[in-house]
């Protein structure tokens, strides 16, 4: 039985938590207090120390200094099992589900106590119904969408009757409609007395959902706030330390067609990948076209087909500046004026163990190689210019790419690609995981390129981003592309319903009628 | 409690120190084995590592055995940097020797001055052709080149055995399984009087410089390095995988083939059933001990050559079996791989704090 004092104590208190890794202080004297039944936001830019702090709470790592109190009692959380025993559950940003197993089998693997599968299936059904998270225990995970998989993760936590639920960037993989459902669930849990630690950098969501916010900056607490009473600007100021500049998209007339996809159909080589179906798209000089969609709906396949990493069968399916290139390799397309910022930075956009100068050479052969020989001086000068122009924080051109933070590396990659003055620019998730300040700079750089006459195609999961920088927006779902809309002529709701495939049924109905 | 901790970034100092640590650990273990076998370790050290080098002839032998190791390892290292694992340099060496010998047997009687260059070129082409088989299989059928190149070694050995026992056996050779002896114009000129070092060593030194130039200065070298380090980035940049595989296997096959013809047109002087004491395999160790860097490979091939010579001395003076060379080679690779762990990790002493 718990006594009265324990019942009144906050659910979780962190005092003076510090954690140092070789070369970085991830957390520096962090205090945090989460009340019962409270939805508490933990905000901060990338590298602010949010993940480390949550790993400490969930027992994945141990703090170097500081104390943790759980419902009024000091505790040491040795490992995740101990955390779960206390009543702490965590839904990670990247799911850890076995695709070839069913929901019940996956959950069974993660439970600390063995339970017969039929009985577990019943409990899964019961919990999922109670919280409005429909999940079929018999279904195989590989057939589920990302949103459904997240539900499995949440149900898995709820089965253990947690009293504190940690959610790490849960909405980054959801459609706006799915976000609504998730928020309902979280509010219901909070009403039942479950505390929720909600990690995010999306200001609108935090203001809507969370009662209190603790903001981290550079490993320290830079402030606590009541998000409902703050504006996006004031929250951003707490997070990044200075004002956020808005990027400006001045309407202009688009020019000639630079990139043209005609009836692009491509079977995915990956059995769990998405095949592309009949995609038609024209990107003109001086315009930014955005492609929204829940990840895994063919974005990666579309980018690979345009960049040349996956060659197509019919050369006319992809035209670059009028020339059929669908069978050409990426180097040839680059020579014709294509630049590409891939979603994965380390290992795809750059070689982690090579210097920035070498990574400039990676896509700069046209100007840095003569008669098969590398002009290293030119490569270094080029890298130097990118570093200066895009304010990349690093130790000069000899710094290894892996030594840069995610945001700085992304600035380098975007800067490198834009500095080649491409006629067509592809950017996949250009600001994913990048802090607010750097994201703003990257968006502005894309807009500037468009203003100089570049044709830009942006794939992003962040609808706010697409609405702020795109001349027209389309949605990709199940490998099909929706019609294009001007941001002013559509709404988050319409795009959201398209993201779950709404336009496909309509198209098919239209075809049937005709 | 000792604990391995990942370094923030790989240690450059450790990368260089690792082969030295491996060499010293090999030495200590080797001496311990001598001790257990009842040999005087000081004397054994003397015999193994000093005696081979105490004469001009001995130094010459060192360079002579360095040559094939260096040639094979330089080529292999270029492939290894691009994640192309040619394990079959031994086979390419043999086929190179066969191709060069074929030229000599066919046109050697003409005594013309182009015979020797033609033999060398044929050797290179022979090695390339043998390496082209795994390249074709890998690029066309996604066959693992580690397996195919290794299996082709045994085929090459059987091919050699068949030729020296059959069609190429010297009719005047008392039925020994050997080709005829090469004539003077078919042999590589001696470089240093009183030794057996020939001009192949000079060619190998030139290739050290060429290999450095290729990896550091050419775009092809850069492309291959990127494919090795980050295959997705290589695809992204448009560095075709197939081209790299072909280039890696052709280069390593070519240098191995050159090593092969340089052996038969050098110290051996004819085709025999045995033309290499495993140079092609030892070169794999040489490439890694030399950190895949041309200068490192030069030093490592000198060390490996010394192990061969020391092994011969140990057989003669200490009555130890010939396996002693292989033992030392194995120790060297074993310790190198162990020491390489510390390039990316370091040992930390951790005090267990609080309740575990």
**A24 - beta bridge partners?**
A21
B283 to chain A, closest Cα gap in Å = 26
Half-sphere exposure of A90 (CA within 13 A, CB side): 24
Query: Mutating which of A362, A368, A399 best tests the B interface, going by the most B Cβ atoms within 10 A?
Result: A362
Residue in A308, A347, A372 nearest the CB of B219 = A372
pLDDT tier at A512 (50, 70, 90 boundaries)? low
Q: Inform me whether the pLDDT recorded for A253 exceeds 90.
A: no
For residues A233-261, give the mean pLDDT.
Answer: 80
Residue in B5, B222, B238 nearest the CB of A361 = B222
- Which chain B residues contact residue A325 at CB under 8 A? none
B351 to chain A, closest Cα gap in Å = 12
pLDDT tier at B295 (50, 70, 90 boundaries)? very high
Number of H-type helices and E-type strands within chain A: 19, 22
Contact B219 A329 (CB under 8 A): no
Query: Going by C-beta distance under 8 Å and a sequence separation of 6 or more, which residues neighbour residue A53?
Result: A14, A17, A19, A27, A30, A32, A42, A216
For residues B266-288, give the mean pLDDT.
Answer: 93
Number of H-type helices and E-type strands within chain B: 13, 2
- Which chain B residues contact residue A371 at CB under 8 A? none
Which comes out higher in pLDDT, residue A8 or B217?
B217
Q: Inform me whether the pLDDT recorded for B90 exceeds 90.
A: yes
pLDDT tier at A131 (50, 70, 90 boundaries)? confident
- Which chain B residues contact residue A402 at CB under 8 A? 9
Which comes out higher in pLDDT, residue B118 or B347?
B118
CB atoms within 10 A of CB A57: 25
pLDDT reported for residue A1:
45
What DSSP assignment string belongs to A276-340?
EEEEEEEEETTEEEEEE--TTSSHHHHHHHHHTSS--SSGGGEEETTEE-TTS-HHHHHHTTEEE
Contact B229 A354 (CB under 8 A): yes
Q: What is the pLDDT of residues A393-432, one digit of tens each?
A: 888 899 889 888 777 899 999 999 999 999 999 999 898 7
CA torsion angle for B328, B331, B332, B334 (degrees, to 10)? 160
Listed in order, strand segments (DSSP E) in A111-176 are 164-168
Contact A330 B236 (CB under 8 A): yes
pLDDT tier at A5 (50, 70, 90 boundaries)? low
Global pTM reads 0.78
Contact A330 B237 (CB under 8 A): yes
Percent of chain B with pLDDT over 90: 64
pLDDT reported for residue B354:
39
B282 to chain A, closest Cα gap in Å = 28
Asked whether the beta carbons of B137 and B148 are under 8 A apart, the reply is: yes
Token pair 């775009």 is at which residue? B219
Q: Inform me whether the pLDDT recorded for A377 exceeds 90.
A: yes
Contact B236 A353 (CB under 8 A): no
Which comes out higher in pLDDT, residue A42 or A44?
A42
Nearest C-alpha in A relative to B9: A403
pLDDT tier at A7 (50, 70, 90 boundaries)? low
CA distance A459 to A466: 8
A238 to chain B, closest Cα gap in Å = 30
A200 to chain B, closest Cα gap in Å = 27
CB atoms within 10 A of CB A1: 3
pLDDT tier at B154 (50, 70, 90 boundaries)? very high
Asked whether the beta carbons of B67 and B200 are under 8 A apart, the reply is: yes
Residue-range domains of chain A with CATH: 4-240 (3.40.50.300), 257-352+405-513 (3.40.50.300)
Percent of chain A with pLDDT over 70: 94
pLDDT tier at B353 (50, 70, 90 boundaries)? very low
Contact B226 A354 (CB under 8 A): yes
For residues A471-487, give the mean pLDDT.
Answer: 92
Residue in B5, B230, B238 nearest the CB of A330 = B238
Pick from B3, B162, B187: nearest CA to B98? B162
Q: Inform me whether the pLDDT recorded for A386 exceeds 90.
A: yes
Residue-range domains of chain B with CATH: 40-341 (1.10.3470)
**B234 - beta bridge partners?**
none
pLDDT reported for residue A509:
67
CA distance B227 to B235: 8
Residue in A347, A363, A365 nearest the CB of B232 = A347
Asked whether the beta carbons of A297 and A477 are under 8 A apart, the reply is: yes
**Mean pLDDT, chain A, as a whole number?**
86
């Amino acid at each position: 039985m718990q006594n009265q004092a324990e019942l009144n104590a906050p659910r979780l208190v962190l005092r003076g938590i510090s954690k140092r890794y070789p070369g970085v202080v991830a957390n520096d004297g962090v205090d945090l207090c989460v009340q019962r039944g409270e939805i508490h936001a933990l905000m901060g830019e990338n590298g602010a120390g949010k993940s480390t702090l949550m790993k400490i709470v969930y027992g994945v790592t141990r703090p170097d200094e500081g104390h943790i109190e759980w419902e009024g009692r000091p505790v040491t959380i040795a490992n995740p099992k101990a955390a779960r025993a206390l009543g702490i559950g965590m839904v990670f940003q990247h799911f850890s589900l076995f695709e070839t197993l069913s929901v019940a089998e996956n959950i069974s693997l993660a439970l600390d106590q063995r339970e017969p599968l039929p009985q577990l299936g019943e409990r899964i059904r019961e919990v999922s119904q109670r919280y409005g998270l429909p999940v079929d225990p018999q279904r195989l995970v590989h057939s589920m969408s990302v949103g459904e998989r997240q539900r499995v993760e949440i149900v898995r936590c709820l089965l253990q009757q947690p009293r504190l639920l940690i959610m790490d960037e849960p909405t980054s993989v959801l459609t706006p409609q799915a976000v609504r459902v998730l928020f309902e669930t979280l509010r219901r849990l909070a009403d039942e007395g479950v505390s929720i630690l909600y990690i995010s950098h999306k200001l609108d969501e935090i203001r809507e959902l969370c009662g209190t916010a603790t903001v981290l900056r550079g490993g320290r607490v830079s402030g606590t706030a009541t998000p409902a009473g703050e504006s996006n600007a004031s929250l951003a100021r707490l997070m990044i330390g200075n004002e956020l500049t808005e990027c400006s998209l001045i309407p202009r007339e688009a020019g000639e067609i630079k990139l043209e996809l005609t009836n692009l159909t491509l079977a995915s080589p990956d059995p769990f990948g998405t095949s592309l179906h009949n995609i038609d798209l024209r990107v003109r000089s001086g315009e930014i076209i955005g492609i929204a969609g829940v990840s895994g709906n063919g974005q990666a396949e579309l980018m690979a087909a345009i960049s040349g990493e996956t060659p197509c069968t019919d050369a006319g399916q992809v035209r670059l500046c009028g020339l059929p290139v669908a069978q050409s390799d990426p180097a040839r397309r680059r020579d014709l004026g294509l630049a590409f910022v891939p979603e994965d930075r380390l290992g795809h956009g750059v070689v982690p163990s090579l210097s920035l100068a070498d990574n400039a050479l990676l896509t700069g052969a046209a100007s840095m190689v003569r008669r098969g020989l590398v002009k290293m001086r030119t490569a270094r000068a080029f890298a130097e210019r990118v570093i200066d122009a895009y304010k990349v924080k690093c130790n000069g051109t000899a710094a290894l790419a892996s030594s840069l933070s995610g945001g700085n590396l992304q600035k380098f990659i975007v800067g490198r690609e834009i500095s080649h003055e491409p006629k067509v620019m592809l950017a996949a998730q250009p600001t994913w995981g990048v802090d607010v300040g750097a994201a703003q700079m990257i968006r502005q750089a894309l807009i500037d390129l468009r203003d100089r006459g570049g044709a830009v195609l942006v794939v992003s999961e962040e609808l706010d981003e697409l609405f702020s920088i795109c001349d027209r927006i389309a949605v990709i779902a199940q490998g099909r592309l929706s019609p294009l809309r001007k941001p002013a002529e559509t709404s988050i709701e319409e795009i959201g319903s398209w993201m779950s495939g709404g336009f496909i049924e309509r198209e098919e109905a239209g075809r049937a009628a005709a | 409690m000792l604990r391995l901790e990942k370094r923030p970034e790989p240690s450059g100092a450790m990368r260089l120190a690792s082969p030295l640590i491996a060499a010293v650990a090999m030495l200590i273990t080797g001496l311990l084995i001598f001790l257990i076998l009842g040999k005087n370790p000081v004397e054994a050290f003397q015999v193994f590592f000093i005696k081979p080098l105490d004469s001009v002839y001995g130094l010459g032998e060192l360079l002579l055995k360095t040559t094939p190791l260096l040639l094979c390892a330089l080529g292999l290292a270029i492939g290894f940097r691009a994640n192309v694992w040619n394990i079959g340099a031994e086979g390419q060496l043999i086929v190179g020797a066969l191709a060069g010998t074929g030229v000599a047997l066919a046109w050697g009687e003409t005594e013309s001055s182009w015979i020797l260059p033609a033999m060398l070129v044929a050797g290179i082409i022979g090695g390339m052709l043998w390496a082209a088989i795994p390249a074709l299989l890998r690029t066309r059928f996604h066959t693992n080149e580690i397996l195919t190149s290794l299996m082709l070694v045994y085929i090459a050995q059987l091919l050699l055995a068949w030729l020296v026992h059959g069609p190429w056996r010297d009719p005047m050779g008392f039925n020994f399984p050997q080709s005829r002896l090469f004539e003077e114009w078919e042999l590589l000129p001696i470089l240093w009087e009183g030794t057996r070092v020939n001009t192949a060593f000079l060619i190998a030194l030139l290739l050290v410089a060429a290999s450095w130039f290729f990896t550091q200065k050419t775009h092809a070298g850069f492309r291959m390095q990127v494919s090795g380090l980050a295959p997705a980035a290589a695809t992204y940049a448009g560095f075709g995988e197939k081209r790299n595989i072909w280039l890696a296997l052709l280069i390593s096959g070519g240098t191995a083939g050159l090593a092969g013809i340089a052996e038969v047109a050098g110290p051996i002087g004819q085709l025999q059933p045995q033309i290499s004491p495993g140079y092609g395999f030892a070169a794999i160790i040489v490439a890694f001990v030399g950190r895949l860097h041309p200068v490192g490979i030069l030093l490592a091939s000198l060390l490996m050559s010394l192990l061969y010579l020391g092994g011969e001395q140990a057989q003669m003076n200490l009555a130890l079996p010939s396996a002693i060379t292989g033992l030392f080679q194995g120790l060297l690779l074993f310790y190198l791989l162990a020491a390489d762990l510390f390039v990316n990790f370091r040992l930390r002493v951790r005090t267990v704090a609080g309740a575990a």
